Amino acid sequence: MDRTRRDRALLAAVVFTVLLAQTLLYPGVPDLVAALGATTELDASMWFLVAEFAAFVAFVGVWGAASDAAGRRVPFIAAGSVGGCVGYAALAAAGAVTTLSFEAVLVVRALQGAATIGAFSLAMTMLMDLAGGHGRNMGAAGIAIGLGTATGAPLGGQLTELDPLAPLVLASALLLAAGALVVRVDDRTPEREESLRAALDDLVGTPALGIPYAFGFIDRLTAGFFALVGTLYFRAAFDLGAGNTGLMLALFFAPFALLQYPFGALSDRVGRRLPILAGSALYGLGVVAVGRAPTVELAGAGMVLVGVLGALMAPATMALVTDLAPASERGAAMGGFNLFGSLGFLAGFLVGGTVADAYGFETAFLVAGSVEVLLALVTLPVLLRLDVERAETFGGTEEA
């Protein structure tokens, strides 16, 4: 195996490990926050998830700037991994052997998130920078993200059935493993900045990037919505435990992970418009349907459908970023896309949790799905006017 292929595999393994550790916590988050001293379910779960993603948004630029200044990335990925390991371990200790207030737990959670985003964002950046083809690198990243999230939900649910703190222990070990993996990667000098300012600069230079950025934001908003509101809804509406809740989440994440590459190849052949517009509109309707399903079987079928539709639109949206950005700026544009996605996750927790708390689960699902459908309708005229050359992202051809 040559160095590029080895480094691609190692960096994809780091991305997979970080996402696996993160999603382990989702199915059992109500049990976890209770074990950590919370006295409410929805509010505490929301702020526990928000604390991490707020730190993601706040510190992704800090890690990028530090890496740029040092001219190296591998030591910072390793430091972020070890910091995440310590953060997860501290959270586990807070529930097992200390009497920290829940407010203090949220501070630890934010510090864990601040460390973890360094490992994830810089590993993704290095992966996109590798030689050997942007399509191969994007494919490796997509598979790593998809498999990490698909595996984390069911595994985390089963671990929570054993002990609510068990996912934290495994997450800590996984981040330590990520740090050990990345030290084998050949370091490369950073070539770009990843921050909100850099993303906004890209938007000024290429305003059409606002289309995939907006879809990335809304798509991740619904993913964050399912991680919080979906988890609590399945448990409350169908009396599911953490294990079965994890399986319900996996009904979405498994097709979402496994179908991304073939649907991405489809978008290379038929263009980005149809998968993005049709996928987003139907995806939004599917989200609403899950919230109105009268039985757990129908809700599960809805989750599978939403996962398939998500896999249809997500790779086309990411590929549109590479179509619109100049070749020399594709990595920076993808960094902006990921940053807007993190903001979407954060909004999904906050909006979903707030609406569900004030108006109930059914209204929350209606709002989340309607936002997706509305975006498809609003952007329809703009997407129809776009005329850009398609990059060979998944192995495709000529025009968007």
Single pTM value for the model: 0.83
* pLDDT (0 to 100) of residue 298: 97
Residues of the chain with pLDDT > 70, as a percent, come to 89
pLDDT recorded at residue 201 = 62
Cβ neighbour number for residue 278 with a 10 Å cutoff: 14
Q: Identify the weakest region by mean pLDDT among 88-102, 104-118, 132-146, 206-220.
A: 132-146
| Mean local confidence (pLDDT), 227-255 | 91
Domain boundary among 170, 193, 216: 193
Compute the distance between CA of residue 228 and CA of residue 51 in angstroms, rounded to an integer: 13
Pair 241, 174 in one domain: no
Q: What is the pLDDT of residue 173?
A: 98
**Has residue 389 got a pLDDT over 80?**
no
Asked whether 45 and 170 are in contact (CB, 8 A), the reply is no
Cβ–Cβ under 8 Å, residues 395 and 325: no
Q: What is the mean pLDDT of the chain?
A: 86
Q: Do residues 246 and 350 both lie within one domain?
A: yes
Single-letter amino acid code for the residue at 92: A
Residue 209 is given by DSSP the state G
State yes or no: pLDDT of 216 exceeds 50.
Answer: yes
Q: Are residues 121 and 6 in the same domain?
A: yes
Q: With H, G, I as helix, E, B as strand and everything else as coil, classify residue 187.
A: coil
- Per-residue model confidence (pLDDT) at position 324: 83
CB burial of residue 231 (10 Å; 0-12, 13-18, 19+): buried
pLDDT at 226 over 80: yes
Last residue of a domain, one of 193, 215, 236: 193
Phi, psi of 399 (to 5 degrees): -140, 145
Q: How far apart are CA 34 and CA 29, in angstroms?
A: 8
Unique residue bearing structure tokens 């190692």: 10
Contact 104, 48 (CB under 8 A): no
Q: How far is CA 387 from CA 46, 264, 270, 399, 400, in A?
A: 41, 19, 14, 7, 6
Domain that holds residue 114: 1-193
Let me know whether 184 and 56 are in one domain: yes
Task: Give the whole-angstrom CA distance, residue 199 versus residue 212.
Answer: 12
Please state the rounded mean pLDDT for residues 365-381.
91
Whether the CA torsion 197, 343, 146, 208 is positive or negative: it is negative
Q: Are the CB atoms for 242 and 232 separated by under 8 Å?
A: no
pLDDT digits (tens, 9 = 90+) for 275-304: 998 899 999 999 999 999 999 999 999 999
Q: Classify residue 227 by its DSSP letter.
A: I
Reduce the DSSP state of residue 192 to 3 states and report it. Answer: coil
> Position of tokens 């997979």?
16
Q: Contact at 8 Å (CB) between 379 and 214?
A: yes
Task: Count the alpha carbons within 13 Å of 229 in the hemisphere toward its beta carbon.
Answer: 35
Alpha helices in the chain (DSSP H): 3-23, 29-35, 42-70, 74-96, 102-129, 134-162, 166-182, 196-205, 210-225, 231-238, 242-258, 260-270, 273-292, 296-324, 330-359, 361-385
Q: What is the CATH number of the domain that holds 20?
A: 1.20.1250.20
In the predicted structure, residue 196 carries a pLDDT above the cut 60: no
Distance (Å, whole) CA 291 – CA 325: 37
Let me know: does 242 contact 35? Beta carbons within 8 Å: no
Which has more pLDDT, 219 or 87?
Answer: 87
Do 239 and 169 lie in a common domain? no
Q: Are 189 and 203 within one domain?
A: no
Specify whether 336 is located in the same domain as 256: yes
Name the range with the highest mean pLDDT among 38-47, 124-133, 263-272, 297-306: 297-306
Number of domains forming the structure of the chain: 2
Using H for helix, E for strand and C for coil, what is the string for 89-127? HHHHHHHHCCCCCHHHHHHHHHHHHHHHHHHHHHHHHHH
The pLDDT, as a whole number, for residue 190 is 53
d(CA 61, CA 210): 20
What is residue 203's predicted lDDT score, i.e. its pLDDT?
56
| pLDDT tens-place string over residues 315-367 | 888 888 878 877 666 666 777 887 888 888 889 989 999 999 999 999 999 99
pLDDT at 198 (0 to 100): 61
Answer yes or no: do 345 and 265 share one domain: yes
The answer on 289 and 163 residing in a single domain is: no
Instruction: Provide the 3-class DSSP secondary structure of residue 399.
Output: strand
Length of the chain measured in residues? 400
Residue 64 is predicted with a pLDDT of: 79
Question: Could you tell me if 147 and 257 lie in one domain?
Answer: no
Are the CB atoms for 9 and 186 separated by under 8 Å?
no
Among residues 142, 173, 193, the one where a domain terminates is 193
d(CA 245, CA 161): 11
Tell me phi and psi for residue 299, to 5 degrees: -65, -40
Residue 183 sits in the same domain as residue 40: yes
Tell me the pLDDT band of 137, cut-offs 50, 70 and 90: confident
Quick check: 380 pLDDT over 70? yes
DSSP 27: T
Task: Assign 239 to helix, strand or coil.
Answer: coil
Is residue 142 located within the same domain as residue 34?
yes
The predicted structure's pLDDT at residue 327: 66
Mean pLDDT of 20-27: 94
